[in-house]
Amino acid sequence: MDRVPVLKIGDILLVSIQIDLDDQTAMQLQEDLSDRIVETGAHGVVIDISALEIVDSFIGRMLSTIAAVSRVLDAETVVVGMRPAVAITLVELGLSLNGVRTALNVDKALDILAASKQIHGVGVLTVAEDDGV
């Protein structure tokens, strides 16, 4: 069975989707990703879809599910590399990629994740200070 590799870069997981995903491969990817988030304590997931010429409702739903599951596991998801034609088709189809952040490229996604980690860190600190009072 084809399997999409999940690469770890620091505390980020990177997935580059290049093959046509059927039900089973998509399920496997979701499982692999969740396992790796828990295993590594990653705080962000970057999904590169620059190789995809078509993003239909199946892929769109999968991206939303991955983002939702990752959020529950305290990791933010950013989708990168969307082709202009794909973006146009998504809007025409009325697919909004609920809860999925996007960025133009991996570098920008890493910037977003670093910034959100910092904000998150400050939030935790504030709560701790409140507890101390």
The reply to whether 16 sits near a copy of itself by the rule CB under 8 A is yes
The reply to whether 9 sits near a copy of itself by the rule CB under 8 A is yes
DSSP conformation class of 66: H
Residues 6+ apart with CB under 8 A from 97: 60, 63, 64, 79, 90
What is the signed CA dihedral for 76, 78, 79, 84, rounded to 10 degrees?
A: 150
The reply to whether 25 sits near a copy of itself by the rule CB under 8 A is no
The reply to whether 59 sits near a copy of itself by the rule CB under 8 A is no
CB of 52 to a copy of itself, least distance (A): 10
Which token pair is 123? Answer: 């939030």
The reply to whether 44 sits near a copy of itself by the rule CB under 8 A is no
The reply to whether 64 sits near a copy of itself by the rule CB under 8 A is no
**How crowded is residue 131: how many other Cβ atoms within 10 Å of its Cβ?**
7
With vertex at residue 113, the alpha carbon angle to CA 110 and CA 115, rounded to the nearest 5 degrees, is 110
The reply to whether 121 sits near a copy of itself by the rule CB under 8 A is no
Using the contact rule CB under 8 A, the part of the chain among 30-38, 47-55, 89-97, 122-130 near a copy of itself is 47-55
Return residues touching a copy of itself (CB under 8 A).
2-5, 7-10, 14, 16, 18-19, 48, 50-51, 81, 105-107, 110
